Amino acid sequence: MRASDHDRDLTVERLQVAFTEGRLTPVEMDQRLERALSARTHDELEGLLADLPAPAKLVHLESKNGSLQRAGDWEVPRTLRVVSKYGSADLDLSEARCLHPLVEVRFELAYGSAKIILPMGASADTDELRTGWGSVSLDVSQHSGMPHVHVTGELSYGNLTVRYPRKRWFTQS
């Protein structure tokens, strides 16, 4: 079956993810990109991805008016979509297992606020997040550190806070 431009674009995206994860060398990446962009069939595209892991699935969290929370020991997906009409979202990644060097969090919150707590040393950016009446507080490194959390989407009337964990003064360790 003949491949479409969309099929080629999806293959390029998977190759880019594999490259950022260190699965392809720069030379392999260049060769595969050239072949992907000139591929005519699905078989040609599938051959370029055959030795790479399947793409990480999108995890979708949705609530109409309750709060969405993830904390403790949980596995952070490559892409996380958070949707809520009236609720808030709290994502604590400080003790989570982040298996991907790049994590995308897409918010679609109408009237709720969101908070992301990153592990120490991680980075984040909110360059592609749209806000209406809300604000964004980014109190972390923006361009270095792993994982890097790329925040996108829209908060119509809510606020977003991205920070590192607070110091615990009264704990024994």
Give backbone dihedrals phi and psi of 83, rounded to 5 degrees, phi first.
-125, 130
Show the tokens assigned to 17.
Answer: 């993810």
- Is residue 116 within a helix (H) or strand (E), and if so which, with residue range? strand 114-117
For residue 145, pLDDT over 70 is answered with yes
pLDDT for res 56: 67
Span 90-112, pLDDT tens digits: 999 999 999 888 899 999 999 99
Find where tokens 């790049």 sit: 102
| Most confident listed range (41-45, 138-142, 166-170) | 41-45
What's the chain's average pLDDT?
Answer: 91
**Average pLDDT of span 133-158:** 90
For residue 130, pLDDT over 60 is answered with yes
- Is residue 17 within a helix (H) or strand (E), and if so which, with residue range? helix 5-20
**Average pLDDT of span 66-88:** 94
pLDDT for res 171: 60
pLDDT for res 1: 86
pLDDT for res 135: 92
Dist CA 136 CA 103 (whole Å) = 19
